[in-house]
Amino acid sequence: MKESKDIMAIRIKALRKQKNLSQEQLADLLGLQKSAIAKYENGRVINIKRSTIAQMAKIFNCSPSYIMGWNENKTNDQNQSYYFNPETSKIAQEIYDNKELSLLFDAARDAEPEDLQTVHSMLMALKRKEKGE
């Protein structure tokens, strides 16, 4: 998913500059080291914590999906989603929002809603099995 990683790096840097923040200032706001911000902006980190992405979204006044490169619009406008199908986008967001599933999930943007729903159902069944339910 190199393309998304590159977009994320570019967006973090651009959003930081739009807010007139230095790397050090952004790092302080996020409780991180300046070197972490430099790595994010250089695309050397692929798995930024969800909580950090959420904090950045608040600081930059945009959606987490915009920062991640999944959405072309800074808000959660479904018409500008990374996914071609709005229903697919909704299911993908549900998976992303579920911290147990998000680490396991990487969808193609042309996925059909039925396919994504199948993946979602399978992942939920695996989680239930893991918990002994």
User: Which runs of consecutive H residues, i.e. helices, occur in the chain?
Assistant: 2-18, 23-30, 34-41, 50-60, 64-68, 86-97, 99-102, 113-131
Q: Cβ distance 68 to 1 under 8 Å?
A: no
The residue ranges of every structural domain in the chain are: 2-68, 83-131
Q: Cβ distance 108 to 89 under 8 Å?
A: no
Across the chain, mean pLDDT equals 79
The model carries a pTM of 0.56
Give domain 2-68's CATH superfamily: lambda repressor-like DNA-binding domains (1.10.260.40)
Over range 82-100, report the average pLDDT: 71
What is the structure's pLDDT at 98? Answer: 74
Question: Each residue of 45-80: pLDDT tens digit?
Answer: 878 888 899 899 999 988 888 888 877 666 544 444
What is the structure's pLDDT at 77? Answer: 44
